[in-house]
Structures are given as C-alpha cells and as structure tokens.
Structure 1
Amino acid sequence: MQKSTKILFATLIPTLLVSNTYASEQSDAKGFIEDANGSVLFRTGLNTRDKKNGKADQNSAGQSAIFKLDSGFTQGTIGFGAGILTDGGFKIGNNFNAGPDMIPAENQGKTDEFGHVTPKDHWLRGGGYIKARMSNTTLVYGTQLVNSPVFASNLGRLAPEYYEGLSITSHEIKNLELSAGKYTKNVRSGQVGSDANNLDQAITWGAKYKINEQLSASYYGLDIKDRLKRHYVNTNFKQSLSNDRSLTYDLNGYHTKWDPEGNTYSETTNDKNDRANTIWSISATYNTGPHNVMLAYQQNIGNTGYDYNNNGDGGASIALPNSYLSDFAGAGEKSVNLQYTFDFSAFNIPGLTWTSAYVYGWDIDVANADRTKLITSSAKETEFFNQIKYTVQSGFAKDVSFRARNYIYRADEAYRDNYMPNTNEWRIFLDIPITLF
C-alpha cells in the first residue's frame, strides 16, 4: 500500500509544476454562493427478478429522492467550496425483497428462511464534502460519487452508492485528465450506514488522454488493501466515413491479482495466494443515421472470473461491452455480442431509443465446491436484452426520462450453480429531475 500511495502523489504533483497550456478554471470562479447549484432527482423504480431452477424470486419497488447541493468556489488563487449528497425514500406496496441492491436492506442484507432480503420501509443516507481548487486541479474530501473503470459508484438503483475519502482531478495539461484518490468508507446502494461495506482502504489513480479528435487512450489502477490489485487500459478510435457515417473501434483490458482475503465467486483454484485473471474485449460500432450496430468479442484468461462489487470496488466498475444482467466474465469464458440501437428521431420522436442485444458465452471453466478440480471447461450462457428509453426534450417536463429493461438469461446447470440461475428480469425507472437553483 505504501507503493500505491507514492504512485498517487507521483501521478498528480508534477502537473501543478508545469505551466498551463490553457485558461485556469479557478480564474473564472464567481464565488461560493454565486456559482452554487442545487438539484433533486425523484426516481420511481420497479424490479422483478423471476428466478428459475427453484431459486427465490427478487421483486421490489420503491420511491427515492436524490438531493445534491454544491457550492461554487471562492475567488482567489485557491478556491474553497462545500456540498451535500443525500438520498431518502420508501418501499412501495407489499414488498418482501430488497432485490439486487435495488432498495436499502435491513440486517445488512442477510436473507431470511425463504432467501429474501428484507427491505427497509424507509431510509435516509448520504453526507457532505469540502473541496478546493487551484488552477485546473480540484481536490474533494468527504462523501462522493466515484466514476472510473476500476472504481465506480453504482447509480442504477433507487439509491446511489457512496464513498468517503479524498479525490484529486487535474486538467493542467490540455486534453489530459489525471486523477487519484484514497477512500476508506463505502456504502452500497442496498446498505445504510457510514461504512456498511467495511472498506478498509482503496487507492486509485489514472490518466485519460485525447490524442486527437479521433483517438483517445486511458489507464487506471486500483489497490484495495488485503483484497485486490487491478489495472485497466483502453484505446478508442473513431473513423469517419462518408455521408455522416462512422465506425468506432474500442479496446478494453483488465488485469486483476487477488490478495488472499479478496472475495471471488468463480475461482477454479483453492490456492488463495494464486488467483489472477486478465479479461479483454474489442468492439466495432457502425453508425449511420438512426442506426447503431455493435459487434463485440470478449475473452477472460486466468483461474477466476472478472469479479467486482464484492471487495468495495463499486457496483459499476466494469467497462466491458458484454455486460448486461450477466457480465460474461466467468473463468476462461469467451463471448460474442451483437447489439442494435435505433433512434426514433428519424420518425420525429426525438429522445426515444430502442436497444436490443444478444450475447453468447462459451468455454466457461467451472470447479467443484472445494475448488480441487474442474467439473467442466465448456459451460455456456446466453442473454437476450431489450431496452426502451424516452427522455423529454423540451417544455415543462424537459429531461424527465422513462426506461424499461428486460433480460432473459439462460446457462448450463454447472454454471447456474456456480453463478446465477436462469432468470427473467424487468427493471423499470421513471426519473424526474428538478433544478432548485
């Protein structure tokens, strides 16, 4: 961990010592009150997870309000500010299950005799933060929503996932973003408490560089004490074609080394000191008018799956194309994905989109219960995904959005026992954002 802390500071300090290549963000500061803004997002959500193979269903519904108050920065060489992030809500109806982190749960998410996770009748969560900015470098300490490919808050539930710690983001060099952080507390979407997930210490660092209008590259790292060390790389290239058509290539890669105390669910070894995996993907996306078609290939190498969200690394810390209900990231797994999106603005209905995808995964390694031998190295899984989303484009309801997702998941028996049962699922959300000031 000492090494990771040194990397954190070595990543950012040099940027403060170089001359700016463009205007300073802090020089435009108008003041603590003058630049302040406040908003609330009212979210109504329904989740029905119909599990097959004798497993308990997970159905839940609720209403939440996610509130953010963010001050501006004071004027001067160093600007200071503060803010609040909170959410509250209640379950709706005869609701016996918190779902997959859909609603904050009682008893730290423990199941009852029927396999249900009891939801809270109502909840209130969140916290505050302080911030400082010098030139184009911003420091935030306190409760935060984090977003990086290796360490990301889950924002796709009724309640967001919070972290508490220190983060630094720097734009001192044009087209280059450097970031680093140290976090010591984590509250998942289905939890209540200042550190319900018992995060000890996580160090993050990363860089993203826009090489030109067509090409960008990034690297991010993560070290969670006694749990795991992870690295991520990405390259994205957009090729413009004639008649407003384009072809975008995207390459992603993760490498994870697990510490002995790290949690995984799909390892094929019983040696806790020798668990590692590398997963990579490549995709090509063709866009013409209202049509968007993506073809992706993804492959995992090693004796574990790409396991995330079980070690304090966040419920959205995956930047792979074949990630829907399943992530198609089992040990040894290969998968292909065909996704199609249609934009109904072509029919004069701006804001309405439809997405369908089919993913097929094969050659999954599955071990027996004590991880002493392989049961099979050729397990399979499939998923059919559909989503419709509409966002109001103008008028008094501007930015109100509705989205409905349907997942149909099937897998071989050996992998179902190791991962999850055959499942049909609906997720429906209505988001009403309101700007307070």
Structure 2
Amino acid sequence: MTIPLQRLSAGDGSNTKYNSIYGIQMTKYKLSAIALALMTSAPALAASQADSNGFVEDSSLDLFLRNAYMNRDYKHGAQDKVEWGQGAVLTFNSGFTQGAVGFGVDAFGMYGLRLDSGNGRAGAGGIDFFMIDNNGDVERDMAHAGAAVKARFSKTVLAYGDQRPVLPVLSHDDSRLLPEAYTGTMITSNEIDGLTVHAGRFHAQHRKSDAGRDSGGLNSIEVLGGSYQFNDNIHAALYASDVEDVLKRQYANLNYIRPLNGGDTLTLGFSGYRTKQDKEWDGAGDRNNLWSLSANYATGSHDFTLAYQRSSGDTGYNYGFYQNQGAVGDGGTTIWVANSFWSDFNAKDERSWQVGYGLDFAEYGIPGLSYNVAYIRGTDIDDGTGRGDGTEREFFNQLKYVVQNGAAKDLSVRLRSSNLRVSNNASNYNSDGNEVRIFVDFPMNIF
C-alpha cells in the first residue's frame, strides 16, 4: 500500500530542525548546528548540579512574539490558502534547587490571534495556523499552556510534563504561528564529555493549530539515542523511535568539518532514516529509506551547497500529521535531511539534487542581513497511480534581517518565496504553486 503524501505539516521547509525559531535554512552552518540542536532539546542544563545557584537565581522568563503571514497560490484549480496571525509565547525556566538532587519547573503559555483568513483559505489541508470549528468556521484565536517538573542529578536531567523536543526522530513543529508540544517524560544526560543521550516516552501531542492537549491523536512515542562530538571536526548521532501502532524509525547522522586556508571551511554531511510502518496503520507494513549527502563550502561572506537525496522502498517518507490518515505523531519537522524546503522531496523512489548559495552582508557593511537561494529538482517519483516517473522542482529564495542593537535588538524579519512545479504524473504526491511567507519574530528576555 502506498500512502499519498498530501501533507498538512510538511513543506515547513528550509530545515527548521536546525533553527526552529526562525525557520531558516542555515546553509553555512546547518550541518554542524545539528549537534547544538540535539544538545539543547531538553530543559536547559548548567554544567552540572554542583553549579546550581538555586531555583530562583538561575531562573529565566522569555517572551517570544511572532507575526506570521503565509500565502499559497496553488495551480490547476486547487484552493488557494492564506493565513495571517499574531502569536505570543511566554516561557519560564526555573533553576534547580541546591543539593545532591535539584528540582525545578519549566512552564509556558501561548496565544494566537487570527488577523486574516477565511472564505475557504484556511484550516485543514492548508497552512494550519488555526483549526476549523464544528460550524465550519476558522477559529478566531487559540491559547494553550503547559508545564513540566524536572530533577537533576550530576549532569542528568529527568523532566515530566509538557515539552518541546528537538530530536531527529521527534521534532516539534515551530514553522507556523505557534509551536507543537508533547506531554511525557524525557531524560537528557551529559555525563560523558561530548556525549548527549536522550531517552523518553510521550503520550500526548498538542498540535500547533489546536488548543487541545491531545489534539494530535497520539497513542505514544518512545525515543532513544544520542549524539557524540568526537572532536572539533567530527560529529555523529544515532536515534530510534517507536510510534505506537504507526511506525518504527531509525536515524543516523555523520558530519565532518574541515578547516581550509584563509578561514574557509568544507562541511560534508550524511543523514538517513530507515522506517517500517506498522500494519495496524497502513495495512501492509511498508518500508522506506530516506537519506541525503551534502557538501558546503564557506568562504568569507559566501557559501555554496550541493546535495543529493534519495527515497526508496515500498512507500514515501511519512511523518508529522496527515489529513484523513491519522497522526504519525513524531512532529511536523521530523525530516532532518538536506532537501527539505516547501517540498521535502520525499516521495516513493524520488531522487533529488540541490544547488544552493548563501550570502552574509556583514562584510558589505550591513550586519544582520542574509540571503539564501536554492534550486532543487526531484525525479523518478512514483505517486501510486502507475502513470510513470514524475518530477518536481523548486526555486527557493529567502531574505532575512536581524536587528543588531537598540530596543529592538534580535528582532528579525524574514521574507521567503518558493516556486514549486510538479508534473501531472506526480500530482497524487504533491501540488504545485507559489508560496510567500513573511515572518516577524521578536524574542525578548524579561529576566
């Protein structure tokens, strides 16, 4: 059985797994940034419990504001989608009490207000800022709050409650107005220098567009794995997950960064998934292998990327939440491979190539301004209709500016566009069109 990948949460694009707050493809740094994401995916850690200054002394309160607009102009008669909203996320992270075992609390509250959408342009199957209610109307706003208790011994933290994991097999979606959250238990250990280990079980998923604590329909997901920084140049990761009655997945990653003369760097990366779907979910127990190889050369303010990605097996790569197919349950950005933009180039049998370029304007007197462009082409797509090999191609542009100082320091404005074209014999896998995103993000530290 081949499940067509008509995705709700896919196409977040642009490797949000490496920078989930800003949703930008960091071509110059994205491979080495995997290590940072893996080591910061649980409650904030001090060096060890011995360094604790106290519950209050090490606490922080942060406010994150996001004004987000997305417009998808679909071709061939598909309904266009437009949503615009204002979101706010308040996050409190306590320190740990002093003693051999420290205790603390993390909490968050989020609110989203719809500024524009309607007339069939929002809701399921579209951008997914807000849900459609029982009367067929788009929700005017959405609020959700959560908290987790945590305990630390030495360099190991145990947390239970509402969390936002950032792991290659369970990556919460923060590519829309408000982020996803999961309820469950996570252990994060850094007892060995360079090694970060995660183990967890989550039993509820809060969707990014719905206030319900278990709105994702998740039974449970178990995760286990770790990452290791061998030295300044080599980083590796291995992870596995089991989504109850849905699928089992394994992930492997290896990055190598080679410094060159004059401060230039060459970064090589491999990322790959192996997935076996449960018969309870798809009726057949289909398998998929998805992997990518990438090379990035950075020199001065410029960086250049080449990448190849391959999907093989009985079906395409399934993740996130799928309309009319039930929840996969592992997060809307759980696809840590090179060619993830608006399309994720993850169809059955698909092969895709990317050429990308990034420019940092700091050397030209405009610090904080950056530009990224990429062209990706996918071939050999089997959309399950027997019409032959399909193709898709995407042209991606993004301009971003981050305020460097003053009262608005760290405020960012991101302008992004994608042009996606899909051949007729791949239309059961994906829809083509033009997309525009305008995100204004303002992170603020209150204390």
CA contact (8 A) 1:336 1:359 kept: yes
Give how far 1:104 is off: 2.5
Scaled by the length of structure 2, what TM-score is found? 0.85
- Provide, for residues 98-146 of structure 1, a one-character-per-residue CA deviation record: whole Å limited to 9, x for no partner: 35454221338x9x6xxxxx43111211211111100000111111111
- Provide, for residues 38-84 of structure 1, a one-character-per-residue CA deviation record: whole Å limited to 9, x for no partner: 01111101010111111111101010111101111000000000121
In the superposition, relative to structure 1, how do residues 156 and 164 fare at CA in structure 2: closer, same or farther (>3 Å)?
same
In the superposition, relative to structure 1, how do residues 331 and 33 fare at CA in structure 2: closer, same or farther (>3 Å)?
same
1:319 aligned counterpart, secondary structure: coil
Q: 1:408-427 counterparts in 2 under 5 A?
A: 408-416=419-427, 418-427=428-437
From 363, 385, 402, give the equivalent of 1:346.
Answer: 363
What is the one-letter code of the residue matched to 1:291? H
From 134, 145, 157, give the equivalent of 1:138.
Answer: 157
What is the one-letter code of the residue matched to 1:184? H
1:243 aligned counterpart, secondary structure: helix
Indicate the residue corresponding to 1:166 in structure 2: 185
Structure 1: distance between partners of 2:231 and 2:445: 35
Between 1 and 2, higher relative CO (CA 8 Å, sep ≥ 6) is seen in 2
Indicate the residue corresponding to 1:407 in structure 2: 418
Structure 1: distance between partners of 2:201 and 2:220: 7
Structure 1: distance between partners of 2:77 and 2:47: 60
Indicate the residue corresponding to 1:98 in structure 2: 122
- Provide, for residues 193-214 of structure 1, a one-character-per-residue CA deviation record: whole Å limited to 9, x for no partner: 0100111110001110011110
The answer as to 2:263 corresponding to 1:251 is no
Structure 2: distance between partners of 1:253 and 1:434: 36
Structure 1: distance between partners of 2:445 and 2:280: 44
Indicate the residue corresponding to 2:387 in structure 1: 375
Q: 1:356-395 counterparts in 2 under 5 A?
A: 356-368=373-385, 374-376=386-388, 378-395=389-406
Give how far 1:255 is off: 0.2
Structure 2: distance between partners of 1:210 and 1:355: 28
In the superposition, relative to structure 1, how do residues 422 and 24 fare at CA in structure 2: closer, same or farther (>3 Å)?
closer
Unpaired runs of at least 5, structure 2: 1-45, 322-327
Structure 2: distance between partners of 1:382 and 1:149: 25
- C-alpha RMSD over aligned residues: 1.5
Give how far 1:24 is off: 5.4
Give how far 1:156 is off: 1.3
2:166 aligned counterpart, secondary structure: coil
CA contact (8 A) 2:55 2:96 kept: yes
In the superposition, relative to structure 1, how do residues 436 and 51 fare at CA in structure 2: closer, same or farther (>3 Å)?
same
Indicate the residue corresponding to 1:276 in structure 2: 287
CA contact (8 A) 1:102 1:159 kept: no
Structure 2: distance between partners of 1:94 and 1:333: 34
Indicate the residue corresponding to 2:438 in structure 1: 428
Structure 1: distance between partners of 2:249 and 2:79: 33
Indicate the residue corresponding to 1:232 in structure 2: 251
CA contact (8 A) 1:101 1:189 kept: no
In the superposition, relative to structure 1, how do residues 364 and 218 fare at CA in structure 2: closer, same or farther (>3 Å)?
same
| Runs of 4+ with deviation above 4 angstroms | none
Structure 2: distance between partners of 1:391 and 1:85: 25
What is the one-letter code of the residue matched to 1:421? S
Give how far 1:187 is off: 1.4
CA contact (8 A) 1:256 1:278 kept: yes
What is the one-letter code of the residue matched to 2:349? G
Indicate the residue corresponding to 2:16 in structure 1: none
What is the one-letter code of the residue matched to 1:353? S
Structure 1: distance between partners of 2:253 and 2:63: 33
CA contact (8 A) 2:301 2:361 kept: yes
Alignment: residue pair count: 393
1:316 aligned counterpart, secondary structure: coil
CA contact (8 A) 1:103 1:119 kept: no
What is the one-letter code of the residue matched to 1:129? A
Indicate the residue corresponding to 1:20 in structure 2: none
Structure 2: distance between partners of 1:384 and 1:392: 27
Structure 2: distance between partners of 1:155 and 1:419: 24
CA contact (8 A) 1:207 1:218 kept: yes
- Provide, for residues 282-319 of structure 1, a one-character-per-residue CA deviation record: whole Å limited to 9, x for no partner: 00000000001100000111011111103111001111
The answer as to 2:170 corresponding to 1:151 is yes
In the superposition, relative to structure 1, how do residues 24 and 285 fare at CA in structure 2: closer, same or farther (>3 Å)?
closer
CA contact (8 A) 1:342 1:354 kept: yes
Look at both structures and tell me which one has the larger radius of gyration over its CA atoms: 1
CA contact (8 A) 2:83 2:127 kept: no
From 56, 60, 78, give the equivalent of 1:55.
Answer: 78
What is the one-letter code of the residue matched to 2:418? Y
Q: 1:183-332 counterparts in 2 under 5 A?
A: 183-262=202-281, 272-310=283-321, 311-332=328-349
From 109, 121, 140, give the equivalent of 1:121.
Answer: 140
Give how far 1:94 is off: 5.4
Scaled by the length of structure 1, what TM-score is found? 0.87
Structure 1: distance between partners of 2:339 and 2:253: 15
What is the one-letter code of the residue matched to 2:226? A
What is the one-letter code of the residue matched to 2:78? K
Unpaired runs of at least 5, structure 1: 1-22, 113-117, 264-271, 369-373
Structure 2: distance between partners of 1:105 and 1:54: 23
1:92 aligned counterpart, secondary structure: strand
CA contact (8 A) 2:180 2:205 kept: yes
CA contact (8 A) 1:42 1:432 kept: yes
Give how far 1:360 is off: 0.4
The answer as to 2:117 corresponding to 1:107 is no
The answer as to 2:57 corresponding to 1:31 is no
